[in-house]
Amino acid sequence: MAYSILFAPLAPELAAPITARLKVLSNLDIAEHRVPQDGQFTLTLADRPISFRIATLPCRGGEKIVLRLLHQVEQALDLEALGLSSQQLAAFRSALNQPQGLMLVTGPTGSGKTVTLYSALQARNRDEVNILQR
């Protein structure tokens, strides 16, 4: 379920510096105001990482910015807890144990892609397997 919170418009003198700061945090081009841009950034508040997605859209009089707070995955699940059928779980485990290949995990926002991937990494995390994190 998504919630929107609307606030009064910012004072005009605050809009440009706040927009620039959000773009810097998101590694967006601060000089580009004519095309939409999308990015993300993470802040640590109260010792917890909070991730945001940002979308900018050019409009008359400046840019419109939409920020979305992303759900943080606290921990990976056991593969059995992902809600897969026994046949799906067997196929997923088989794919995870292949020495090479490509696995695509797709779905809409909030459908569990990140939890699925973290769970898959946890299932593969053994001494003889190298997992690189960017």
Backbone angles phi, psi at 82, to 5 degrees: -80, -10
> In the chain, what percentage of residues exceed pLDDT 70?
87
65 pairs with which residues across the strands?
Answer: 56
Q: Where are the domains of the chain?
A: 12-70, 79-124
- Of residues 75 and 39, more confidence is placed in 39
CATH of 12-70, one of 3.40.1390.10, 3.30.450.90, 3.40.50.720, 3.40.50.2300: 3.30.450.90
What was the pLDDT predicted at 26?
96
Q: Residue 26: which of 63, 51, 61 has the closest Cα?
A: 51
Contact 102, 95 (CB under 8 A): no
pTM for this entry: 0.56
Q: Extract the tokens encoding 71.
A: 């759900």
Q: What is the pLDDT of residues 80-132, one digit of tens each?
A: 988 899 999 999 999 998 988 888 999 987 788 888 988 898 888 877 777 66
